[in-house]
Structure 1
């Protein structure tokens, strides 16, 4: 299962272990149990600190295994085989159970240790999901740190009966004490903030006490990261307020057009962006949603108000709030979101194995999704609003070669249907004939483009008809001292490399604005106020 190269690397990692690791495996004679035992037996040969106990009593989930360390009371388990994207989660779990310290901040680690109560977490993941490892790794660490927390990471594709019973139709899906806790990508900070109800208020008080910045970047995607780095390198006071650092890149599977990097994945690039920003004296304020922008007043400072009630002030502001998946906005879509309506085929596709699904949208994203899904599901129907597909010809050729794919053109989706628990069909209108049609299916993957995250700016910053922030060639908005960059702006071609360039431009423009703007002395400010 692990080739010689991987075994050598793993052996090196396991040398960092400082305390014993005990593995309890729950197995039977099935193929997956045999694969799991092959992996675990290999581990035992790589480190003298690892011991293995095998139980074949049919109790609990099979195949699965528990990780613990004598005297530590750690409740951490994997149900299934943690390969694919979850292999890193497995290796990290081994190291942390074995006493290797986490790189998370000391403050966050202490916050986890201080959590009171009983927390029994279960996370359903798929091996092809790039969003799942963040959640699995976060909860694994929490289980290592706090004996009141247990966590089981479950391969949904392997435990299909359980997935069906619980109506899990999106990964990662997290259960807490038997009830749905949340779905989708979550960082350790987000999970802890949700558990520690007083955390938001404490963070708001900290933010209120901060001095004004020279440059405040709102958003932590590629544009925001580039802007922060360029600003910080000028030696000026720089802050970043981000809802989630990394932005939409975190939801991107494969990246093959980032110049000089032949291939990478979104979460890996997002981590590299944050690490680069942290090389400088940048004040990063994560999990912060901006709700209002107040143009500069007599004090020359622009104000950004946050959802938690705090606000930040800065001499200049760079808006890089990015974009999100566009919704169809039809009846039933929100009701059945994560119950058959999905937006990430890579993450959720394996949960629809052998089922009938639809892909809404015939651009590159839609056709790529249909091609990926065709290898998993029984049938894919692509619904395109236009009279022809808009994807690149090479993708269309591949799509047309697949026997279990159908394309419906001139199709306007008008309703998502379901039985109250999950999707069972959709209704579309033929835009040529005007007839309405019902299609029975179990999943709908929406791939119809992006929507800028700019609603909170309406009435303050000039926006285009599509809601994009209108900027000039220097990244300047119509509000003095406020700049913008990335997918939330009118810059064409929403690409990572373009967003980075735009973020750099905005930062340089903000610095130029600063050095050309007269500094108001306290007496002058008081005179203007008076």
Structure 2
């Protein structure tokens, strides 16, 4: 199962295990069971603190539980946690074996204080780069609190179960048999949904914070760069972000960031957050800004209101709220989201193995998605509004070489159809002839670009007709003391490296603004 290099690496990690625990496997006569037993035997052989039993009686087979002697804690993996989930398995082994998690003590206390009966089931795929965050969060909760039970289910190994529960997007989380949530969720988000009083407590804590010299709104590459540059100037810096890393969390491969030959989005996001925290920046994650109130006078405080009711104050603000996937906005899109309508081919593509899907969008992201999906699904229909594909020529040539892809240009998507709660087709109109077409299929992947996260700024900061924040060459907005950077601005070419550079520029401009303000009385 594991090559020698990976065994050596795993052995080094397992040296951190200090408390004994068991791996209790429930197996059958399948090939997956044999592979699971081989994997578990390897793990048990690498640590004197870990023992293996194969007499488990769980109904899901193959599966295995991590159990401390005399403990009621329950964490189970159904199917093989390899691929992107191998890290989740390693962390679960370490945490069960007594190695402390890298989580704030306050959050650990909040998890341990949860009172109730929480039985989580999380469905994941091994190619999903959003799944590990959810898997690791729910695994840690089960290890920290015996009232939380977590079962991690690899969808490819339990196809009948996935179809029966109509799981068409991952990660998909059930709590006590009911849908709890889908898509990427952070540990803090999950705990907040369970601890209903946490939002009010968090808002009160944020309201008490002293004003910042520079407050960055948004935690993607632009916001992270701005925070690092500000903190290195020695000024009080804060970051309020919906999620640190921004869109990079949803990016599969990053191969064009200078000095980094190759990485993936979640690793990149974790790295930029670590660098921001390294400089002592006050990071306020899971915070959505809802209003900007300009300073009343030169050198006064700009206010940023948050969705939880708190208000943050700062002498200068850098807006770096990024962008999100654009919706196609046709009947059926919202109705069938996560029931056949998807936005991440890497995450959800494996769930459509052997089925028919469509990709809406002929830019790089759409054509790349179609190429990726063509290796998994039975057939891909690509629909592009313009009269030709806008993707790079090399990608278009690759797409056209694939035998199970049909391309429609000059095609306007008009409806995503469905029945019994699931997608069953897509309608489009030929923009030349006017003819309507219906393509029967099981999945639709929307890949039509980005829309800036700036709705909350309307009427305060000047926006372009596309909703982008209008900035000059130095990142100034039309509001004194307020700067902007990244994909939410009018700066062209939405790239990570450009966003990072613009974030640094905005922070330097904000600092220049601060040092030129009149001295405080």
Q: TM-score range by the shorter chain?
A: over 0.9
* Correspondences of 1:314-463 after superposition (within 5 Å): 314-463=314-463
Equivalent pair of 2:359/2:370 in contact (CA under 8 Å): yes
Equivalent pair of 1:143/1:149 in contact (CA under 8 Å): yes
Question: What's the offset of the Cα at 1:433?
Answer: 0.5
- Which range is displaced more, 502-511 or 293-302? 293-302
Aligned partners of 1:286 and 1:42: how far apart in 2? Answer: 38
Question: What's the offset of the Cα at 1:434?
Answer: 0.7
Question: What's the offset of the Cα at 1:520?
Answer: 5.0
Aligned partners of 1:378 and 1:84: how far apart in 2? Answer: 23
- Equivalent residue for 1:33? 33
Equivalent pair of 1:21/1:94 in contact (CA under 8 Å): no
Aligned partners of 2:312 and 2:44: how far apart in 1? Answer: 53
Question: What's the offset of the Cα at 1:123?
Answer: 0.4
Measured against aligned partners, the alpha-carbon deviations of 1:486-522 in whole angstroms (never above 9, x if no partner) come to 000011111111000000000000000011121453x
Structure 2 gap ranges (5+): none
Question: What's the offset of the Cα at 1:69?
Answer: 1.0
Measured against aligned partners, the alpha-carbon deviations of 1:356-393 in whole angstroms (never above 9, x if no partner) come to 00000011111110111011110000001111111111
- Equivalent residue for 1:246? 245
Aligned partners of 2:222 and 2:73: how far apart in 1? Answer: 40
* Correspondences of 1:92-111 after superposition (within 5 Å): 92-111=91-110
Aligned partners of 1:131 and 1:290: how far apart in 2? Answer: 24
Aligned partners of 2:243 and 2:119: how far apart in 1? Answer: 25
Equivalent pair of 2:426/2:438 in contact (CA under 8 Å): yes
Aligned partners of 1:55 and 1:411: how far apart in 2? Answer: 57
Which SS does the other structure have where 2:304 is aligned? strand
Which SS does the other structure have where 2:278 is aligned? coil
- Equivalent residue for 2:155? 156
Question: What's the offset of the Cα at 1:56?
Answer: 7.3
TM-score (norm 1): 0.97
- Equivalent residue for 1:166? 165
Measured against aligned partners, the alpha-carbon deviations of 1:414-444 in whole angstroms (never above 9, x if no partner) come to 1111114111111111100011111110000
Which SS does the other structure have where 1:387 is aligned? coil
Residue 507 (str. 1) matches residue 507 (str. 2): yes
4+ aligned runs moved over 2 Å, structure 1 = none
Measured against aligned partners, the alpha-carbon deviations of 1:110-151 in whole angstroms (never above 9, x if no partner) come to 110000001000000000000000000010000000000010
Aligned partners of 1:50 and 1:280: how far apart in 2? Answer: 38
Q: CA RMSD of the aligned region, Å?
A: 1.0
- Equivalent residue for 1:70? 69
Question: What's the offset of the Cα at 1:71?
Answer: 2.1
Question: What's the offset of the Cα at 1:281?
Answer: 2.3
Aligned partners of 2:45 and 2:287: how far apart in 1? Answer: 46
- Equivalent residue for 2:483? 483
Equivalent pair of 1:28/1:56 in contact (CA under 8 Å): no
Question: What's the offset of the Cα at 1:321?
Answer: 0.2
- Equivalent residue for 1:122? 121
Aligned partners of 1:56 and 1:144: how far apart in 2? Answer: 19
- Equivalent residue for 1:195? 194
Which SS does the other structure have where 1:507 is aligned? helix
Which SS does the other structure have where 2:215 is aligned? strand
TM-score (norm 2): 0.99
Equivalent pair of 1:300/1:520 in contact (CA under 8 Å): no
Question: What's the offset of the Cα at 1:158?
Answer: 1.5
Aligned partners of 2:280 and 2:90: how far apart in 1? Answer: 32
Aligned partners of 1:337 and 1:252: how far apart in 2? Answer: 20
- Equivalent residue for 1:312? 312
Which SS does the other structure have where 2:59 is aligned? coil
Count of matched residue pairs: 520
Question: What's the offset of the Cα at 1:402?
Answer: 1.0
Aligned partners of 1:84 and 1:331: how far apart in 2? Answer: 36
Aligned partners of 2:303 and 2:47: how far apart in 1? Answer: 55
Aligned partners of 1:467 and 1:333: how far apart in 2? Answer: 22
Question: What's the offset of the Cα at 1:161?
Answer: 0.7
Which SS does the other structure have where 1:55 is aligned? coil
Which SS does the other structure have where 2:315 is aligned? strand
Measured against aligned partners, the alpha-carbon deviations of 1:131-177 in whole angstroms (never above 9, x if no partner) come to 00000001000000000001011011211111111111100000000
Aligned partners of 1:411 and 1:62: how far apart in 2? Answer: 46
